[in-house]
Amino acid sequence: MSALAKENPMKQFSKHSVSAQAMVDAFKRCGIDYVTTVPDMVQIALHQLLDSGESGLKVVHCTTEDQAIEVAGGLYAGGKNVAVIVQNQGLYAGINSLRALGLDSKVPLLFVIGQFGREFSNLGGNPRDSKRRVVFLLEPLLETLGVPYWRLEGPDDMGNVEAAWKASRERSGPAALIVGHFVGW
Amino acid sequence: MKTLDACKILDAHRDDAIVVCTMGAMNALDKLPLNPLTMACVPLMGGAASIGLGLALARPERKVFVFDGDASLLMELGGLVSISHARPKNLYHFVFNNSIQFAGLGNLETPGARSADLVAMAKACGFEAAQRIDALDDLESRLKGILAGPGPSFVEVVVEYDAPALGTENPAVEMTDERFTRMGDEIRRIRHHLGCDAAVAA
């Protein structure tokens, strides 16, 4: 372990993080112009960049995740391209809105879902092997809902942002990008 | 005040506004001539105001009306805060309050029907204007002024409800497939009417 890592154990996990700026750049390549959100703890760096006004993306802050999904539906109806940023708990809370707008109504929705609560010992491993229900239930739940998903486990996975976005457009429905660890500053 | 009569007045004043409707107001609007800029929020109780917020932000050049219900507003009450935080000047949120859930079907009292002050809630959340109207002639006379003012604006429209249709003589009602597909179809119709798909194709 490096001296820096000994000083701050968080540093040793940086290879599992992607930067907030890289995520914003990927969103822009997709043509995304709006983000709706209830903030997610593991994506705080991304939220800070978005809230700074320097990202070029507009942000709609909502008080619940179902609203974030519904506002995204309204923005789509009005011609905008939207990403919905929530954490795993928020996805669980918003399932009926996902069902109504994403699945029944076939509205293309990109969900960016942070794996809140994932133990560091699981980083680099399979999130399904996590000891925490809030983590290991996410992918099976998305499969039950018929929502395709891509993992974002480190910088090598950045292409998955565009893959998930493209899938949401092609299938006219929801697709998910699962952010496995804290986004970097 | 009958919901249908109130909807007729609002519909006559909409000009090129987009309307997101739900619950009893949706059933009433279904009896009026089709407008391609009307969409129903169904079956998604509680979602109308937030869908309206998204539309208002996406299309600031035109007004967006939300025709909500009292119980559906209460289901996502925090949406009032989300709306006031985003401050859409073109959003007009009409809540048809009959203090009843499943009005005309089962008529179950809405929680808070005798105590919750919806107008006070909207004001406290930071809406630009909030008022209660309980007579049809008041709605007619005050509407022009309401729409001339900035949003987000909240109007509680106090309406009557019909007798329950469900009972021993009529024990069940089936949902049609169309009830589960119309929201998406109407979203796509609005996008088409606004030229959104052409913009994407270009």
CATH of the domain at B78: 3.40.50.970
Task: Spell out the residues 6+ positions from residue B155 whose beta carbon is closer than 8 angstroms to its own.
Answer: B92, B93, B94, B95, B130, B131, B132, B133, B146
What CA–CA distance (Å, rounded) separates B93 from A182?
38
Residues in chain B predicted with pLDDT less than 70, given as ranges, are: 198-202
Which residues of B sit within 8 Å Cβ distance of A?
A: 18, 20, 39, 41, 43-44, 46-47, 50-59, 76, 78-79, 81-82, 85-86, 180-181, 183-184, 187, 190-191, 194-196, 199-200
Domain range for B171 is: 3-201
Just give the CATH number of A15-115+161-185: 3.40.50.970
Per-residue pLDDT tens digits for B125-159: 999 999 999 999 999 999 999 999 999 999 999 99
Are B20 and A74 an interchain contact pair (Cβ–Cβ within 8 Å)? yes
Q: What is the pLDDT of residue A4?
A: 46
d(CA B186, CA B59): 16
Q: Per-residue confidence at A2, pLDDT binned at 50, 70, 90?
A: very low
A contacts of B196 (beta carbons < 8 Å)? 78-79
Residue B197: the pLDDT is 81
Distance between CA atoms of residues A68 and A55, nearest Å: 19
Number of domains into which chain B is organized: 1
Q: What is the pLDDT of residues A93-130, one digit of tens each?
A: 999 999 999 999 999 999 999 999 999 999 999 999 99
- Identify the band that residue A14 occupies on the pLDDT scale cut at 50, 70 and 90: confident
